[in-house]
C-alpha cells in the first residue's frame, strides 16, 4: 500500500538514498531538513534519479508551528526520523548542541505524531548504543548503554529508551529502532553520496579522498588490536542496503517497539578496506600506522538474523560494491555537491 511518509533529515547521506528506495517501492516521501549538514542540490539529484518531484521543506524539526503546518498539509502514514547531528568529536566539544538537537527534535516529532495520529515511526539508531561489545557478533539482545564514550552515542541510547517508554504508554504506536552499523558506499549512478563538510572522520570517506588526491595518506589508528591484522574491524554496510532496510521496516506492521541491527554480519579490517578501495579505484592508497584513536574499540560487527526473520531484509551488496560506488561518487564529484555535476 502506498504510504505518505515524513522523512526528517531526508537531504542527508542515508536520507537521500532512502528516498530513492521509498519511491521505487511506490511510497510518497515528504522531506523536512534544515540543511545544517546537507544541501538542496542532493534532493535535486534524487529527483533526477527517480524522475519525480519530491516535496521539500527547509525546516528545523524543533520549529513546532512550522512542523504542525506540515502535518496539517499532508496526511502522513509514517515517519522516518533521520534528522540529527552525528559527528562524534564535535559532540564531545558541544554536548548541549547535540542533546538539544537530537533529543528535542525527537520529542517534538513524538508530540506531533500523537496529535495527528501518526503511529508508525522508524528511528535511526546506531551500533554505538552497544558501547563496549559484550559479545560478537552483536545481537539485538546484547547489552546496551555500557561504555558509550561520547554525547552523540548517548543521545541515541537515551532516545531508544524514550521511544520504548512512549510505546508502553500508547500501545498503538509501532516504533522501529534501526541500529545501523557502518554505512558506506553511494548510489550506483555516482550522483549522490556522502559529502563530509570537513576532513572526514570516518574511514571510507577518508580513504576515498586519499584515492582522489585530496589527502596525502590514511592514518591507520592502531595495528596492535587483537584482530586479523591488528587493525580495527567493523561491519561496513552499503548505504543502499541500509536504505532498503527502511522500506522493509515500513512494510512490517505490528504494534510495540521492534529493534533490528542493519548489518552484514561480516567484519572488515582497516587494511582490508584500504586494499578493497585500492582495487576498486585502481589507485595506490598510501597509509601510515598511527596511534590508536581514543574511544575506539577493536572489533564491532553484528548478526542481522532478526531483521531477516521478521522483516525479510538482508544485506545483499558487498564491500567491493560499496568501494566501487563510493569511488564513482568521489571521482565524479571531488568537491561533493558544491562542485559541478559531472555524472
Distance CA 15, CA 125 (A): 14
Q: What are phi and psi of 78, to 5 degrees?
A: -160, 160
- Residue 138 carries which DSSP code? B
Distance CA 299, CA 8 (A): 31
Binders in 202-231 for ligand UD1, by CB under 6 A? 202-203, 206, 218-221
- Among ligand UD1, ligand NAD, none, partner that 296 touches (CB below 5 to 8 angstroms by kind): ligand UD1
| 84, 89, 93, 95 alpha-carbon torsion, rounded to 10° | 40
Binders in 266-325 for ligand UD1, by CB under 6 A? 270, 293, 295-296, 300
Binding-site size for ligand UD1 (CB under 6 A) equals: 21
Site string (57-96) toward ligand UD1, x via CB under 6 A: -------------------------------x--------
Set of cell numbers at residue 308: 531477516
Set of cell numbers at residue 119: 503511529
What is the separation, in whole angstroms, between the first and last Cα of the chain?
33
Which segment (26-34, 162-170, 246-254, 261-269) binds ligand NAD by CB under 6 A?
26-34
CA 96 to chain centre: 22
Q: Which of 128, 261, 264, 333 binds ligand UD1 (CB under 6 A)?
A: 128
Return the closest-CA partner of residue 155 out of 195, 109, 107.
Answer: 107
Q: Shortest distance, CB of residue 72 to ligand NAD, whole angstroms?
A: 18
Q: Which of 8, 16, 62, 126 binds ligand UD1 (CB under 6 A)?
A: 126
Residue 157 appears among annotated catalytic residues: no
Beta partners for 56? 31
- Among ligand UD1, ligand NAD, none, partner that 318 touches (CB below 5 to 8 angstroms by kind): none
Orientation angle between helical segments 105-115 and 151-169, nearest 10 degrees:
20
CA distances from 283 to 157, 287, 290 (A): 39, 13, 22
Q: Which of 24, 26, 36, 338 binds ligand NAD (CB under 6 A)?
A: 36
Binders in 112-141 for ligand NAD, by CB under 6 A? 124, 126
C-beta of residue 8 within 8 angstroms of C-beta of residue 84: no
Q: Which of 38, 106, 209, 264 binds ligand NAD (CB under 6 A)?
A: 38
* Footprint on this chain of ligand NAD (rule: CB under 6 A): 8-9, 11-15, 32-38, 60-62, 82-86, 101, 105, 124, 126, 180, 183
Q: Please identify every residue annotated as catalytic.
A: 152
* Footprint on this chain of ligand UD1 (rule: CB under 6 A): 88, 126-128, 153, 182, 201-203, 206, 218-221, 232, 234, 270, 293, 295-296, 300
Amino acid at each position: 500500500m502506498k504510504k505518505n511518509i515524513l522523512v526528517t533529515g531526508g537531504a542527508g547521506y542515508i536520507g537521500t538514498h532512502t528516498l530513492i528506495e521509498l519511491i521505487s517501492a511506490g511510497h510518497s516521501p515528504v522531506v523536512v531538513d534544515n540543511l545544517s549538514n546537507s544541501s538542496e542540490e542532493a534532493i535535486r539529484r534524487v529527483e533526477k534519479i527517480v524522475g519525480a518531484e519530491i516535496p521539500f521543506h527547509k525546516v528545523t524539526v524543533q520549529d513546532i508551528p512550522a512542523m504542525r503546518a506540515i502535518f496539517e498539509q499532508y496526511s502522513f502514514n509514517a515517519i522516518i526520523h533521520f534528522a540529527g547531528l552525528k559527528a562524534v568529536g564535535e559532540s564531545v566539544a558541544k554536548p548541549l548542541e547535540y542533546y538539544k538537537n537530537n533529543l528535542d527534535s525527537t520529542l517534538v516529532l513524538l508530540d506531533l505524531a500523537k496529535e495527528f495520529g501518526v503511529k508508525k515511526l522508524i528511528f535511526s539508531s546506531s551500533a554505538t548504543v552497544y558501547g563496549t561489545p559484550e559479545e560478537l557478533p552483536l545481537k539485538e539482545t546484547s547489552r546496551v548503554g555500557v561504555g558509550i564514550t561520547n554525547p552523540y552515542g548517548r543521545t541515541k541510547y537515551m532516545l531508544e529508551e524514550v521511544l520504548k517508554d512512549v510505546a508502553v504508554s500508547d500501545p498503538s504506536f509501532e516504533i522501529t529502532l534501526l541500529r545501523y552499523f557502518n554505512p558506506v558506499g553511494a548510489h550506483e549512478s555516482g550522483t549522490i553520496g556522502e559529502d563530509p563538510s570537513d576532513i572526514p572522520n570516518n574511514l571510507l570517506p577518508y580513504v576515498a579522498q586519499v584515492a582522489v588526491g585530496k589527502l596525502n595518506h590514511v592514518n591507520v589508528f592502531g595495528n596492535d588490536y587483537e584482530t586479523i591484522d591488528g587493525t580495527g574491524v567493523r561491519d561496513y554496510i552499503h548505504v543502499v542496503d541500509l536504505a532498503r532496510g527502511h522500506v522493509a521496516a515500513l512494510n512490517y506492521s505490528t504494534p510495540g517497539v521492534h529493534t533490528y541491527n542493519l548489518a552484514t554480519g561480516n567484519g572488515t579490517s582497516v587494511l582490508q578496506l584500504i586494499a578493497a578501495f585500492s582495487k576498486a579505484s585502481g589507485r595506490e592508497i598510501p597509509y601510515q600506522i598511527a596511534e590508536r584513536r581514543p574511544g575506539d574499540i577493536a572489533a564491532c560487527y553484528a548478526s542481522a538474523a532478526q531483521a531477516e526473520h521478521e522483516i525479510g531484509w538482508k544485506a545483499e551488496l558487498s564491500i567491493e560494491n560499496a568501494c566501487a560506488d563510493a569511488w564513482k561518487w568521489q571521482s565524479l564529484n571531488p568537491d561533493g555537491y558544491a562542485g559541478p555535476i559531472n555524472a
